Structure 1
Amino acid sequence: MSCDKNIINRLKRAEGQLRGIQKMIDEEKECVDIVTQLTAVRSSIDRVMGLIVAENLRDCLNTPSNDPSIQEKKIEQAVQMIIKK
């Protein structure tokens, strides 16, 4: 996958945010502040999922399977992942 470095960096950032949230909970910070940070992490993870699905779909379209039914199934899986998001 060509965007691996970008995805890893985003995941590391989310990991850091989660550690920060754990610290906020330990320090008994305000609920609204914790939820705000959790929402930011969820948004970040959603973005990573979108990037992975988009890259997978792009790869599927750029290097199609010799079997049209397999190709169609891969595209449908990608679409379903996007819809479920």
Structure 2
Amino acid sequence: MESSAAEAAISAEPDAQKKIANRLRRAHGQLGALITTVESGAGCRDVVHQLAAVSKALDRAGFLVISEAMRECLLDPDAAGSPQSEEIEKLFLSLA
């Protein structure tokens, strides 16, 4: 995957980076629980509920990444490395 201006904006904001990492850790934990659930032979309902939780956690992390890129673009649209609106739109649609 190529490095983009939007990726650079995240590393410039330690608070945002921490929030994103926390969301990804939560998804990681949920995924581990999901694997354990599947391996234990749990029912379809339990598996689907946990799949939905993992998916939602990943989506929230992705949207936080994009919102940080949007914030960076709005604060200083002419800054070197600031994501362009077309790039942000493409990233947003990739999560849709």
TM-score, normalised with respect to structure 2: 0.74
| Corresponding residue of 1:64 | 77
Q: For residues 81 and 16 of structure 1, do their structure 2 counterparts lie closer, same or farther at Cα, with a shift above 3 Å needed?
A: same
CA positional deviation for 1:45? 0.7
2:17 and 2:53 map into 1 onto residues whose CA distance is 21
CA positional deviation for 1:60? 1.4
Give the RMSD, CA atoms, in angstroms. Answer: 2.1
CA positional deviation for 1:66? 6.2
CA positional deviation for 1:51? 0.6
The structure with more radius of gyration? 1
What is the 5 A alignment of 1:1-85? Answer: 1=13, 2-65=15-78, 74-84=84-94, 85=96
CA positional deviation for 1:82? 2.1
Question: How many positions carry a matched residue from both structures?
Answer: 82
Tell me the alpha carbon deviations over residues 36-77 of structure 1, each in whole angstroms, 9 at most, x when there is no partner. Answer: 10111111111111110010111012122269xxx7x71111
Q: For residues 66 and 13 of structure 1, do their structure 2 counterparts lie closer, same or farther at Cα, with a shift above 3 Å needed?
A: closer
| Corresponding residue of 2:6 | none
* Runs of 4+ with deviation above 3 angstroms: none
2:20 and 2:76 map into 1 onto residues whose CA distance is 22
Unaligned runs of 5+ in 2: 1-12
Q: For residues 66 and 19 of structure 1, do their structure 2 counterparts lie closer, same or farther at Cα, with a shift above 3 Å needed?
A: closer
Unaligned runs of 5+ in 1: none
1:66 and 1:52 map into 2 onto residues whose CA distance is 18
Letter in 2 for 1:16: G
